[in-house]
Amino acid sequence: MTQNRPGAGFLSYRHDGASLPDVELIDAASAEFERVVRQLPADSWDRPTPSTFSVRELVEHVVVGNRFTALLLAGVDRDEARTLLAGDQVGNDPATAVADSARSQAHAFATTPPERSVPGPNGDVPAAAYLRFRLVDLVVHAWDLMRAAGLDETLDPRIVASVLQLVEPHLDEMLAFGAYGDGPSGTLPPNASPQSRLLDWFGRRP
C-alpha cells in the first residue's frame, strides 16, 4: 500500500488538476485501516462490532467498498460492479485483500477529476464527495475493529484531524444519507477530543 511521504503534511492537500486534493489522505486512512487488520487476534474474527457486522464481515465490507469505488470511478455501472464483486472478497488473506483493494481505490481517485459525477446510492455525486464517504468508512470502521478486538482504540491523530477538517463543512449532507446510525449525540463536552468528535458525528459512542 502506498504510504504517505515522510514529512508530508496531511493538511496540505494538493490539487494539480488531474487528481483529487485529498489523495494522500485516502492513502493514509487506508494504511491505518490495514494496520488495524494486521493486529486483529486470530480469535476475533467472529466477534460483533459497533456496526451491524462481525469483524470478518466488516473487513469484507471495507474491501468490497474499496473495489466497488475503483470500479465506479473506472466507469463501471453500479449493478455491473455489484455482480463483479459477488462472492467472498477476503479469502484466506484478509490483510492482502485490504492492501490490494486500497491500492486500486487510491489509484482510481488519483486519476479522477474531483468534479466528475459518480453514481451514488441516492443519485450522482461529485468524486470529491464520494472520497469523503470512503474516508469516513475507513477511519470509523478501523475504530470499530479495534473496539471489537479489544485493541488500543487510538487512531492516528493526524488522520483524525485531517478527516475532521475535510468533512465538517459537509457533515449535514453526509448524515442525510442515513448510513451512520444515530448520528451525533449532541452530548459531547466542549473539550472532547478530535477522535471522540469524529466518532460521535458518525454514530459511535466511544
pLDDT digits (tens, 9 = 90+) for 25-66: 999 999 999 999 999 999 999 999 999 899 999 999 999 999
E-strand spans in 91-172?
117-120, 123-126
Helix axes 55-73, 94-110, angle to 10 degrees: 30
Residue 164 near residue 198 (C-beta atoms within 8 A)? yes
Q: Per-residue pLDDT for 4 more than 60?
A: no
Burial of residue 144 (CB within 10 Å: 0-12, 13-18, 19+) is buried
Ordered by where they begin, the domains of the chain are 23-150 (1.20.120.450)
From 64-68, 136-140, 172-176, the region with the lowest mean pLDDT: 172-176
* 187 Cβ contact partners less than 8 Å away, ≥ 6 residues apart: none
Residue 54 β-bridge partners: 48
Nearest residue to 145 (alpha-carbon basis) of 48, 67, 3, 26:
48
Q: Which residue has the cell 486500486?
A: 104
Cα 190–Cα 182–Cα 141 angle in degrees, nearest 5: 85
Write down the pTM of the prediction.
Answer: 0.88
Q: Per-residue pLDDT for 16 more than 50?
A: no
Residue 4 near residue 27 (C-beta atoms within 8 A)? yes
